[in-house]
Amino acid sequence: MIKNIGSLFTAPLSIDPVYFVENWRTIDGEPFRITNNGRDYLVDFYRSLCISALKDKKPVVVVKGRQVEATEAALNVALYFLCNYKFFNVLHAFPTETQVSRFSKERLQGAIRFSKPLVPGDPGQIEQCLADHRNASNTVSTVEFRNHNFYYMYSAWAEADSLRGISVDALMRDEFQDWSPSAIANTEASTSQSKYAVEFSFGTPKSANSPFEDIWKNSDQRYFHSRCVSCSKLFQITMDNFLYHDIVKCTQCGKEQTKTDANRGGAWVPTKSVGKEGRVGYHISQLIHPAIPRERITRQQDEWSDSKFKNEVLGEFFTGGTLPLNPADVKARCCEPYRLLDFPGIVSAPRETFIGIDWGSRSENKDTGAYTVATILEKVGEKYQLVRAEKLMQNEYVARVARIRELITLYNCIAGVADIGFGQVECQMLQAEYGPMIKSAYYAPNAKEKMSYNEKNWMLTIDRNAWIEELIDIINRGQLVIPFRRPAEIEWLVDHMCNTEIRVAHRTGNVFKSYEKVNAAEPNDGLHSLNYAYIASVVHLGHNVLGRSPMTSKLQGAVKGGVLLGNFNGKPWSPPRGGVQQITRSDYGRRG
Ligand SMILES: [Zn+2]
């Protein structure tokens, strides 16, 4: 547990953090430079964190694009205090444990090992600041420096409880966009006992109306202005005057110049006045970074969605309906009204249900990757009631298929759709038994129709985005009923459903909308499984919840002619002579 012993000594303010960084650190064997190489915006930034923050005690927030060296800046600020002060504790916290150990092993250890020696041949200056008995006490998450200084690196997720009530002199909250409200709350008062009270929260923004945006709004929002080499006036680098390579154009006199030259005499300009309680805010986009050329930014604008480009390149919060489902709304509309409703253990005729299966590789032996999720829906009036949602953790695909069979029997499933992308063999096993009652589904990236059907192999080709859009609409209208008597058992599905955002890309004059994961590291297989169950119901009933048919006339004909119908009314389907037709790659349709 971190204890603040009390800060007995104050370092002389004559040690300039910029001097410290440029004379103590190296990068790739060269001196670490932040002046006269286009990074001059970091000069005031370092001094603000290392000197001004001690005087005015204002917390600093940085909203930034990716790869603009903010974590490196936090590391340098931490090392500055740890090498120059006494009884000084730094807490550098990240959302996940992986980030902690990567930072500790790669960034911090590298900065120490390759710090610049005073005399060639000596150990580096930062290495000499480590406590003598460092080998005994240092771990991935704690490094002790001389003069009773400690560098703590914690995960705000795994060690949230240890963060509560922690007391330190400097707090660095890294990747702040991924911090949970409780982790933020647990660290809120951590510097209140310190006479230094340095607080620095930084990250790459995501959606608007987040805690991160709240603290940014409560800051003076400083933007860096470059200074023209010709007319000496200040101007901002934007998408409009960043021309090519590293050439920018002065908005005052039109002079074209390199970013390195323009940034040299630049200044941070606050754009908002906040009271005493406000924060100091810095905005660092990729546009001002000297090593990022215009061509790369143009490429990212073309290839990335609006939200990703705004977040990761421009460092801006994205508004405008990026998140079609949010957990609070889903719970209010689809869960809370059904607090007394429980999942049935069995469903018998005449009730009929539809099963959707999304295959994945995760199992009891493998705790990463996509889940295999089975979801069962029953159409009740104008609503779809969730009958069962299950993550299948069996290691063997044979065991998973066996469990699906049990579910089909227990819940009287009369039609099903299963993803074929990761479950070709599983689909064939189910179809060998149930015939066309179980249809495989292929999510086509550029499908011309919302859905088409291949009778030869019982495979649906599906416009993924069109179907998910329809499903999301159903959820937002509250037409999905999620039994909520035991919330802990079903909240995972709500998380899967809400890990979805709308990405809009503009290419050659056309607008492409797609539904993607918000957080690529988190699963959303439950949403797809639900989508397949919904598709199974639409295919079988011949219409969607609005009474409209998404099917082609050929497909409707097939349904009417009974070709699609399989194991209905207790009549078992028997496999044709020669077995079920094998599915080949060419049956998947063309990949766009
Ligand atoms: Zn000018």
Query: Measured in angstroms, how far is the CA atom of residue 231 from the centroid of ligand 1?
Result: 4
User: Interhelix angle for 525-541 vs 491-498, to 10°?
Assistant: 90
Asked if residues 499 and 517 have their Cβ atoms less than 8 Å apart, the reply is yes
Q: 508: pLDDT confidence band, cut at 50, 70 and 90?
A: low
pLDDT in tens, 193-209: 999 999 999 999 987 77
pLDDT at 311 over 60: yes
Q: 571: pLDDT confidence band, cut at 50, 70 and 90?
A: very low
Opening angle at CA 577, ends 575 and 582, nearest 5: 70
Which pLDDT does position 136 carry in this prediction?
A: 54
Query: Measured in angstroms, how far is the CA atom of residue 430 from the centroid of ligand 1?
Result: 71
Query: Measured in angstroms, how far is the CA atom of residue 232 from the centroid of ligand 1?
Result: 6
Query: Measured in angstroms, how far is the CA atom of residue 268 from the centroid of ligand 1?
Result: 17
Query: Measured in angstroms, how far is the CA atom of residue 249 from the centroid of ligand 1?
Result: 8
DSSP lists the bridge partners of residue 207 as: 318
Asked if residues 246 and 258 have their Cβ atoms less than 8 Å apart, the reply is yes
Write phi, then psi, for 40 (nearest 5 degrees). Answer: -60, -20
Query: Measured in angstroms, how far is the CA atom of residue 273 from the centroid of ligand 1?
Result: 27
Query: Measured in angstroms, how far is the CA atom of residue 233 from the centroid of ligand 1?
Result: 6
d(CA 427, CA 445): 21
Q: 272: pLDDT confidence band, cut at 50, 70 and 90?
A: confident
pLDDT in tens, 381-424: 889 999 999 999 998 999 999 999 999 999 999 999 999 988 89
Query: Measured in angstroms, how far is the CA atom of residue 284 from the centroid of ligand 1?
Result: 22
Which pLDDT does position 558 carry in this prediction?
A: 52
Residue range 269-274: average pLDDT?
89
Asked if residues 83 and 145 have their Cβ atoms less than 8 Å apart, the reply is yes
pTM value is 0.58
Query: Measured in angstroms, how far is the CA atom of residue 234 from the centroid of ligand 1?
Result: 8
Query: Measured in angstroms, how far is the CA atom of residue 235 from the centroid of ligand 1?
Result: 8
Specify the range with the lowest mean pLDDT, choosing from 15-24, 325-334, 351-360, 536-545. 536-545
Query: Measured in angstroms, how far is the CA atom of residue 265 from the centroid of ligand 1?
Result: 12
Residue range 257-264: average pLDDT?
96
The amino acid at 35 = T
d(CA 375, CA 55): 58
Which pLDDT does position 569 carry in this prediction?
A: 36
Query: Measured in angstroms, how far is the CA atom of residue 221 from the centroid of ligand 1?
Result: 24
Q: Dump the DSSP string for 248-284.
A: EE-TTT--EEEHHHHHHT-EEEE-S---TT-BEEEEE
Query: Measured in angstroms, how far is the CA atom of residue 358 from the centroid of ligand 1?
Result: 59
Token code pair at residue 199: 């607080």
More confident residue, 471 or 303: 471
Query: Measured in angstroms, how far is the CA atom of residue 263 from the centroid of ligand 1?
Result: 13
Query: Measured in angstroms, how far is the CA atom of residue 262 from the centroid of ligand 1?
Result: 10
Q: Dump the DSSP string for 293-333.
A: -HHHHHHHHHHS-HHHHHHHTS---B-SS--S--HHHHIII
Residue range 509-516: average pLDDT?
66
The amino acid at 208 = A
Q: 454: pLDDT confidence band, cut at 50, 70 and 90?
A: confident
Write phi, then psi, for 113 (nearest 5 degrees). Answer: -65, -35
Which pLDDT does position 3 carry in this prediction?
A: 39
Query: Measured in angstroms, how far is the CA atom of residue 222 from the centroid of ligand 1?
Result: 21
d(CA 383, CA 364): 34
Which pLDDT does position 516 carry in this prediction?
A: 79
Exposure b/e, 381-415, CB count within 10 A at least 16 = b: eebbbbbbbbbbbeeebeebbebbeebbebbbbbb
Q: What mean pLDDT is reported for the chain?
A: 84
Q: List CB contacts of 191: < 8 A, sequence separation 6 or more.
A: 167, 168, 169, 170, 171, 197, 198, 199
Residue range 458-465: average pLDDT?
88
Query: Measured in angstroms, how far is the CA atom of residue 228 from the centroid of ligand 1?
Result: 4
CA distances from 547 to 401, 414, 439, 462, 551 (A): 33, 20, 22, 19, 12
Query: Measured in angstroms, how far is the CA atom of residue 261 from the centroid of ligand 1?
Result: 12
Query: Measured in angstroms, how far is the CA atom of residue 81 from the centroid of ligand 1?
Result: 39
pLDDT in tens, 218-251: 999 999 999 999 999 999 999 989 999 999 999 9
Q: 592: pLDDT confidence band, cut at 50, 70 and 90?
A: very low
Place of tokens 């695909």: 397
Token code pair at residue 526: 């439950």
Write phi, then psi, for 262 (nearest 5 degrees). Answer: -70, -35
Query: Measured in angstroms, how far is the CA atom of residue 286 from the centroid of ligand 1?
Result: 22
pLDDT in tens, 577-587: 444 444 343 43
pLDDT in tens, 49-100: 998 888 888 999 999 999 999 999 999 999 999 999 999 999 999 988 888 9
- Answer positive or negative: Cα dihedral of 378, 380, 381, 384: negative
Which pLDDT does position 6 carry in this prediction?
A: 35
d(CA 76, CA 95): 20
Which pLDDT does position 510 carry in this prediction?
A: 56
Q: Are strands 353-358 and 372-380 parallel, antiparallel or unpaired?
A: antiparallel
List the one residue out of 194, 137, 199, 190 whose CA is nearest residue 159.
190
Write phi, then psi, for 202 (nearest 5 degrees). Answer: -150, 150
Query: Measured in angstroms, how far is the CA atom of residue 542 from the centroid of ligand 1?
Result: 67
Counting residues of the chain whose pLDDT is more than 70, the rounded percentage is 85
Asked if residues 202 and 176 have their Cβ atoms less than 8 Å apart, the reply is yes
pLDDT in tens, 14-55: 589 999 999 999 988 898 999 989 999 999 999 999 988 888
Q: Dump the DSSP string for 42-110.
A: HHHHHHIIIIIHHHH---EEEEE-TTSSHHHHHHHHHHHHHHH-SS-EEEEEESSHHHHHHIIIIIIHH
Query: Measured in angstroms, how far is the CA atom of residue 294 from the centroid of ligand 1?
Result: 20
Query: Measured in angstroms, how far is the CA atom of residue 229 from the centroid of ligand 1?
Result: 7
pLDDT in tens, 155-184: 887 777 778 888 999 999 999 988 888 888
pLDDT at 463 over 50: yes
Token code pair at residue 310: 């705004």
d(CA 259, CA 265): 11
d(CA 45, CA 90): 18
Token code pair at residue 541: 């009933």
Which pLDDT does position 53 carry in this prediction?
A: 84
The amino acid at 560 = K
Domains and their CATH numbers in the chain: 17-220+277-287 (3.40.50.300), 327-566 (3.30.420.240)
